[in-house]
Chain A
Amino acid sequence: MENSNGLEKIKIINDQFSSEENVVEMRGIYKRFPGVIANDNVDFTLKHGEIHALLGENGAGKSTLMNVLAGLYKQDSGKILVHGRPVNFSSPRDAILAGIGMVHQHFMLVPSQSVTENILLGLENPKFHINLNEYHQQIEALGERFSLKVDPRAKIWQLSVGEQQRVELIKLLYRGAEVLIMDEPTAVLAPQEIEDLFDTLRSMVSEGKSVIFISHKLQEVSEIADRITVLRRGKVTASGLDAHNISRKELARQMVGRDVVFRLEKEPRTPGEVILEVKDIHADNDKGLPALDGVSLNVRAGEILGLAGVAGNGQRELAQVIAGMRKCKQGKVLMRGREISNRSARVGIQSGLAYVPEDRTHTGTSPNLSVTDNVIMKKYRQPPIARGWSIHMPTATHFAQELKQSYEIAVPTVETPVRLLSGGNLQRVILAREISGKPDLMIAVQPTRGLDVGAIEAVHHLLLDQRMAGTAILLISEELEELLSLSDRVAVIYEGKIMGEIIEEDLDTIGLMMTGTPLEQIRESERL
């Protein structure tokens, strides 16, 4: 910033080349995290006064891209231009000075302080003495201008989630943000609040602001956005589409892709008796909002039932209800005809249920305990590892060593704490533990997420071997190709409801179901 003369010149040159209406231009953004390329040469342009949606599945790199723009991450390579001027943000403060602010999924507010205090937090003015009344009025006026209704005197903890989101928005507007990035803003909102939010966004755009709207929900995106950019696995698959002239079907195809990369040799197998029966399950998510709305499924022995769906439509909650780790409000889970719902995880384990959770490090393993301690997690109660009250350590160690060999877990010794293992090896530890229990039923949630190709293949083969061994498998995944190549049947879940179940591989139909069209409706429209 010292060399302002030079900068002025650059600005003049840039103004001649770049069109005036581009508020933000990101060119060739590349960002790598250990083991993952989050953004691979991504271009993104935001025009003045538009709502631009950034669409993509979980892990497609949407949030990473926007965190780069908001100054939270630093790109490995690539350029960012704001009003045609190259910028280099090293903190969110720099970004907000350039007029770019982001509302994160998790709000950054102090619960015990008032709305006004939260908004003033971290600003240079007021310096020491605060005349709160004056600021209350300022904030009220700002809120009215953008139809963001919130009482500046209220404490944050007294506010609903929707109101807290409004506070975050006012915070950015107060700091003079011209570009507002909303990271999955509707994920935490009730339907009515979503409508309010959309009204706010529209009024902000009419006041000359520009909005970037991150989402994986097609319906919202086509409702609110002017233009849409689709990301898939860190790359742009469609950029700047006109939101008013594109079908949801086309968007779904851009988002999930249709190239089947690998084919697996799947031996035919006639499924046996019904092992798992899920009957009309209703359950809430962690925030107390309904997540499952009458889900019914059944899985037979020696069969893989794939459950497809965009993340956050109730898959996690369904797996937890079946595994006994979440209470359901209505409905039943039966295993071989015996009810296992609303009891405990232990009942599930004892009736032969294996569960590969989505969250490897926080649920599936205990990071500071050894490989041995982690593989006996479900066996330490029974002989031969248990001997009365105690655990026979030599047997446990021997068991761990056997698993290390047969599942090729790359680890120096079985005494190594598992936090030092790579993602692929950690997943092998979990699969080794779950499979070695010779389960009747296996629930696998996102078993290959974040793994490299070799590890993915190994996991796939383990699942297919289990199928041949007669285990009933419920495979929950967001990778459609994986689901289609492994599953015998595919069911689709959307907003806590099953949209339908199909056997043939028809991506278009699955795509439509994933975005909320029930199968019967699709079949009907085909018949017409």
Chain B
Amino acid sequence: MSDNSSPTASTSSLQKRIKMPFTIRFEPLLKQPPKWYPTLISLLAIIVSLTLGGLVIAFAGGNPFQSYAHIARASFGNIGVISDTIVKATPLLLTGLACSIAFRMKLWNIGAEGQFIMGAFGASAVVLAPLLPAETSPWIFIPVMMIVGMGLGAFWGFIPGYLKAKLNVNEIITTLMLNYIAIAWVNFWIFAVWSEGGFQMSPKFPDNAWLPRLAGYADSIPLFRGLTTHMGFLIGILAAVVVWYIISHSRWGYEIRLIGDNPRAANYAGINITRNTIFVMMLSGALAGLGGMSEVTGVIHRLQTSPLAAGYGFTGIIVAWLAKLNPFVVIIVSVLFGALILAGREIQPSGVPKLIQGIILVCLIASDFLLRYRIRIIRTAEEA
């Protein structure tokens, strides 16, 4: 009750000081909006943000229409760039899924970056330690790398999950800090142990530890010549299906949704919140770790910090949020973000494309408000 009446009280005292012809009031939207309404709002938000971005480009002396057309061409113009877009989208897809499952339970996992790097480290260790000899068949190599990568990612999620569940340590801080530990850990190995001739990178992996690429099938399908899209994207889509199934159709997913929406109701329904906190953080870490494994075995082909720690884990947070935590929408959003990253280089290495990313994000998150509230403009005279 106090929620309802205190804002009105403060607006009216404001009016006394500044005489305004209108007052704007936000009222909670009590009826369920039609199904198309959220999509419409999101589209409007994108249009608004592209307009704002266009203004920025125009201000910088560019032609916004040409720039946008250029972005579109540079990322979707031909099959070659589409393939590159998908390569960029793959790590975002997996980190986006990792964040979306944790965020479903309102566990703010900011550590997908570190879990991603640990996943890459785990996969690399299989080759470099070596856990398997270099001549192992890819049929064994790749699954083992996946398992070890996911396992290390899950371990990196387990630490903050356990601390949160048992000691109520804020997971935002622990996951964030573990990111830096992960980078430092990998740096130690590539500087000291697996360094190739003193460079800050490991030797290249043998071919049978590479994820298969489309280009590898160019002999039978000539269209695939030079395409770098690798199996990681397929793994990502499979992961999206699995995540969707878990969230929407499994008992575990039901528990996750219930805890995320109302932990007290979950406790009332007899759900073990402690155990779920740990398990969800581990699943989230495993998905990010899978992303790291896919990046290191599909693109980089060696352990090296700089291309790995490129912020995929952080962008994954944005991807998950823009997709409203829906795993299928995560696929679409990650491809669009891959396109922006790729095309961004065509316009400017950094700067404007990141700015547009930022504007889109702010507009979309702000537009959420319209799904929960309606805005009423009231003439002051009417109220008095």
A 341-367 contacts with B by CB, 8 A = 344-350, 355, 357, 359, 362-367
B 1-41 contacts with A by CB, 8 A = 1-2, 4-6, 8-10, 12-13, 16, 30-32
Tell me whether A373 and B265 are in contact in the complex, defined as CB-CB below 8 angstroms, given that A72-B5, A389-B252, A390-B250 are known contacts. no
From residue A439, how far is it (CB to closest CB) to chain B in Å?
A: 14
Q: Contact at A349–B270, with CB atoms within 8 Å?
A: yes
Q: Contact at A91–B13, with CB atoms within 8 Å?
A: yes
The 9 sampled A-B contact pairs (Cβ below 8 Å) are A72-B2, A73-B2, A73-B5, A74-B5, A366-B258, A376-B254, A377-B265, A391-B250, A412-B32
From residue B134, how far is it (CB to closest CB) to chain A in Å?
A: 39
**Chain A residues with CB under 8 A of B30:** 420
Tell me whether A373 and B268 are in contact in the complex, defined as CB-CB below 8 angstroms, given that A386-B251, A420-B32 are known contacts. no
Tell me whether A90 and B13 are in contact in the complex, defined as CB-CB below 8 angstroms, given that A380-B254, A390-B250 are known contacts. yes
Q: Contact at B261–A366, with CB atoms within 8 Å?
A: yes
From residue A490, how far is it (CB to closest CB) to chain B in Å?
A: 27
B262 interface hit (Cβ, 8 Å): yes
B137 interface hit (Cβ, 8 Å): no
Q: Contact at B272–A344, with CB atoms within 8 Å?
A: yes
From residue A375, how far is it (CB to closest CB) to chain B in Å?
A: 11
A368 interface hit (Cβ, 8 Å): yes
A 103-131 contacts with B by CB, 8 A = none
Tell me whether A366 and B262 are in contact in the complex, defined as CB-CB below 8 angstroms, given that A380-B251, A391-B250, A393-B249 are known contacts. yes
Q: Contact at B268–A74, with CB atoms within 8 Å?
A: no
**Chain A residues with CB under 8 A of B262:** 362, 365-367
The contact of B1 among A33, A91, A390, A420, by CB within 8 Å, is A33
Q: Contact at A391–B258, with CB atoms within 8 Å?
A: no
Q: Contact at B16–A363, with CB atoms within 8 Å?
A: no
Contact flags A398-442 to B (C-beta < 8 A → 1, else 0) = 000000000000001000110010000000000000000000000
Tell me whether A391 and B251 are in contact in the complex, defined as CB-CB below 8 angstroms, given that A72-B6, A90-B13, A367-B261 are known contacts. yes
Q: A465 vs B232: C-alpha distance in the bound complex, in angstroms?
A: 59
Q: A238 vs B245: C-alpha distance in the bound complex, in angstroms?
A: 62
The contact of A73 among B9, B249, B254, B266, by CB within 8 Å, is B9
Q: Which residue of A lies closest to B1 (CB)?
A: A33
From residue B257, how far is it (CB to closest CB) to chain A in Å?
A: 6
Q: Contact at A364–B251, with CB atoms within 8 Å?
A: no
A234 interface hit (Cβ, 8 Å): no
Q: Contact at B265–A363, with CB atoms within 8 Å?
A: yes
From residue B157, how far is it (CB to closest CB) to chain A in Å?
A: 21
What is the interface of chain B, defined by CB distance below 8 A to chain A? 1-2, 4-6, 8-10, 12-13, 16, 30-32, 245, 248-252, 254, 257-258, 261-262, 264-272
Category for how many chain A residues contact B: 35 or more
**Chain A residues with CB under 8 A of B2:** 67, 72-73
**Chain A residues with CB under 8 A of B258:** 366, 369, 373, 377
Which 10 A-B pairs rank lowest in CB-CB distance, beginning with the nearest?
A346-B270, A345-B270, A366-B262, A377-B269, A366-B265, A366-B261, A91-B13, A90-B13, A90-B12, A368-B261
Q: Which residue of A lies closest to B259 (CB)?
A: A366
Q: Contact at B268–A363, with CB atoms within 8 Å?
A: yes
Q: A376 vs B245: C-alpha distance in the bound complex, in angstroms?
A: 18
Q: A324 vs B4: C-alpha distance in the bound complex, in angstroms?
A: 34
The contact of A355 among B5, B251, B261, B268, by CB within 8 Å, is B268
Tell me whether A365 and B265 are in contact in the complex, defined as CB-CB below 8 angstroms, given that A33-B4, A90-B12, A373-B254 are known contacts. yes
Q: A73 vs B4: C-alpha distance in the bound complex, in angstroms?
A: 10
Tell me whether A391 and B249 are in contact in the complex, defined as CB-CB below 8 angstroms, given that A377-B258, A380-B254, A420-B31 are known contacts. yes
Q: A324 vs B267: C-alpha distance in the bound complex, in angstroms?
A: 10
Q: A376 vs B258: C-alpha distance in the bound complex, in angstroms?
A: 11
**Chain A residues with CB under 8 A of B1:** 33, 38, 64
Q: Contact at B261–A357, with CB atoms within 8 Å?
A: no
Looking at B16, B261, B264, B268, the one whose CB has the most chain A CB atoms below 10 A away is B268
A159 interface hit (Cβ, 8 Å): no
**Chain B residues with CB under 8 A of A363:** 264-265, 268
| Apart from A367-B261, A420-B30: 16 A-B pairs, beta carbons within 8 A | A38-B1, A67-B2, A74-B8, A74-B9, A90-B12, A93-B13, A325-B267, A325-B268, A345-B269, A347-B270, A366-B257, A366-B262, A373-B254, A380-B254, A390-B249, A391-B251
**Chain A residues with CB under 8 A of B270:** 324, 344-350, 378
Q: Which residue of B lies closest to A393 (CB)?
A: B249
**Chain A residues with CB under 8 A of B252:** 389
